[in-house]
C-alpha cells in the first residue's frame, strides 16, 4: 500500500478528518478532506462530525479547532509547527496595554495562542478583520499581534483609533517591494495579489489584498491570466490546482514558512496510527477563548 492509501484506510477506520491550511505541502493538500484559509478551517473544525481531527497547519490553528470542538481528539502531525508571530505577544503585555487604554476593544488575530484569545474581546482572521472591527461599537481598538494586518485594517476603517502591537510574520516580511516591481516589469499584464501580513510598502503595490482563501477565490473568478502572488509559497499549488490554465509568479522564493512545512505525509500517517501529538487547552482558558472565537464566527 502507498502511504496515501494507508492514510485513507486509517482515516476511515478511525473516523478521522484531515484539515489542511493552504500553506501545507502539495502532498498534504492532496490527501486532506478540506484545504482552506484560517477562517474556513475554524468553521470546518466547529462543524466537524468526525471523532479525530488531524490538523495540518500550525499550533494556534489546531488549538482553535480544539477550543471549538472540545470533545474531539485534535492531533497535529508535528508539535514543533508553531507560529513565531503568535509568540511575539504575552498575556502580561496585553494586560498592560488594556490597563493603558481602558475604553478600547481588544481584537486579536487568530494567529495567537489560546491565552491571548482568552484576554481579547473578539478574534479575527485576515479574511474578516475589517468586518470584525466594523462590527464593534468601540471607537478605540487594541489590535494584536500583527502590526501589518493592523495597519491594513486601520486604513480601511479610518474613523477608528488603533493601538498596535509590534508583531509581524517573518515569512511575509521577507517579501520586498523591489521583488514585486521587478516582476511587474517582466510581466506587465500580471495582476498583483498580496496577503495583508505583508508590509504596507508591498500592499501599496497590490491590485488585490486578501487572505489566502480570498486570493484563491479572486484568482478563480478573475478573467485575467497572469498573477504575481505575494504570500507564502504553499498557495501556488492550491492556485495551480484550482486554475491550471492561469500563470502564477511567486513574489520571492524566500517566502516559505518553515513551520508550515514541518508537517509531512509520514507524520500524518504516524499521528493517525499512534493518536499522539494531541492538542489540549486548559478548560478555563478555552472557555474564555471560545467566547472571542464564537463572537467572530457570529459576525
Ligand atoms: P489565512 O489563511 O487566514 O490567510 O492566514 C495566513 C497565515 O499566515 C496563517 O498562518
Ligand atoms: Fe506564522 Fe507567518 Fe508562518 Fe503564518 S506564515 S504560520 S503567520 S510565520
Question: What would the pLDDT profile of 164-213 be if each residue is shown by its tens digit?
Answer: 999 999 999 999 999 999 999 999 999 999 999 999 999 999 999 999 99
Residue 22: predicted pLDDT: 98
pLDDT score, position 126: 97
Whether 148 and 131 have beta carbons less than 8 Å apart is answered as no
- Average pLDDT value over all residues in the chain: 97
Residue 236: all three cell numbers together = 501556488
58 lines ligand 2 (CB under 6 A): yes
239 lines ligand 2 (CB under 6 A): no
- pLDDT tens-digit profile of 85-143? 999 999 999 999 999 999 999 999 999 999 999 999 999 999 999 999 999 999 999 99
At residue 122, the 3 state secondary structure works out as: strand
d(CA 19, CA 88): 26
Distance 213 CA to ligand 1 centre (A): 9
Q: Maximum distance among all alpha carbons in the chain? A: 60
Between helices 212-221 and 38-47, what is the axis angle to 10°? 110
Atom of ligand 2 nearest to the CA of 58: 6
CA 257 – ligand 2 centroid, Å: 6
Examine residue 71 and say whether the peptide bond preceding it is cis (omega within 30 degrees of 0). Answer: no
* Phi, psi angles (nearest 5°) of residue 188: -60, -20
- The DSSP bridge pattern shows strands 122-124 and 105-109 to be parallel
Q: How far is CA 90 from CA 1, 63, 135, 163, 282, in A?
A: 46, 17, 26, 16, 17
Query: Among candidates 114, 121, 126, 131, which has minimal Cα distance to 41?
Result: 126
Predicted confidence at residue 73, as pLDDT, reads 97
**Does the CB atom of residue 45 touch ligand 2 within 6 A?**
no
Probe target for ligand 2 pocket from 111, 212, 231, with the most ligand atoms within 8 Å of CB:
111
- Which pLDDT value is given to residue 227? 98
Note the pLDDT of residue 10: 98
* Per-residue model confidence (pLDDT) at position 13: 97
Q: What is the reported pLDDT for 65?
A: 96
Residue nearest to atom 4 of ligand 1 (CA): 211
pLDDT of residue 130: 98
Taking the CA of residue 232 as reference, the ligand 2 atom at the shortest distance is 5
CB of 197 within 6 A of ligand 1: the answer is: yes
Tens digits of per-residue pLDDT, 277-299?
A: 999 999 999 999 999 999 999 99
Q: Which atom of ligand 1 is nearest to the CA of 41?
A: 2
Among 279, 249, 246, 241, residue whose Cα is nearest residue 25: 241
Amino acid at each position: 500500500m502507498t502511504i496515501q492509501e494507508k492514510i485513507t484506510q486509517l482515516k476511515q477506520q478511525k473516523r478521522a478528518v484531515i484539515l489542511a491550511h493552504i500553506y501545507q505541502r502539495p502532498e498534504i493538500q492532496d490527501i486532506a478532506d478540506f484545504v482552506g484559509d484560517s477562517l474556513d478551517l475554524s468553521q470546518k473544525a466547529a462543524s466537524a462530525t468526525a471523532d479525530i481531527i488531524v490538523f495540518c497547519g500550525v499550533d494556534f490553528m489546531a488549538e482553535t479547532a480544539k477550543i471549538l470542538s472540545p470533545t474531539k481528539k485534535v492531533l497535529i502531525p508535528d508539535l514543533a509547527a508553531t507560529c513565531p508571530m503568535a509568540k511575539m505577544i504575552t498575556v502580561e503585555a496585553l494586560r498592560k496595554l488594556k490597563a493603558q487604554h481602558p475604553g478600547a476593544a481588544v481584537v486579536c488575530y487568530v494567529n495567537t495562542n489560546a491565552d491571548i484569545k482568552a484576554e481579547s474581546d473578539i478574534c479575527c482572521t485576515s479574511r474578516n478583520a475589517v468586518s470584525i472591527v466594523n462590527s464593534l461599537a468601540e471607537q478605540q481598538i487594541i489590535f494584536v499581534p500583527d502590526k501589518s494586518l493592523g495597519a491594513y485594517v486601520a486604513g480601511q476603517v479610518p474613523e477608528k483609533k488603533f493601538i498596535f502591537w509590534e508583531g509581524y510574520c517573518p515569512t511575509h516580511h521577507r517579501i520586498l517591494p523591489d521583488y514585486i516591481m521587478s516582476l511587474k516589469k517582466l510581466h506587465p499584464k500580471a495582476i498583483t495579489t498580496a496577503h495583508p501580513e505583508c508590509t504596507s510598502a508591498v500592499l501599496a503595490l497590490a491590485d488585490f489584498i486578501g487572505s489566502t482563501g480570498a486570493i484563491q477565490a479572486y484568482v478563480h473568478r478573475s478573467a485575467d491570466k497572469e498573477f504575481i502572488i505575494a504570500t507564502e509559497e504553499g498557495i501556488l499549488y492550491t492556485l495551480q490546482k484550482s486554475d491550471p490554465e492561469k500563470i502564477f509568479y511567486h513574489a520571492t522564493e524566500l517566502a516559505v514558512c518553515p513551520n508550515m512545512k514541518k508537517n509531512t505525509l509520514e507524520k500524518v500517517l504516524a499521528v493517525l496510527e499512534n493518536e499522539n501529538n494531541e492538542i489540549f487547552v486548559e478548560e478555563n482558558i478555552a472557555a474564555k477563548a471560545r467566547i472571542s472565537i464564537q463572537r467572530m464566527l457570529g459576525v
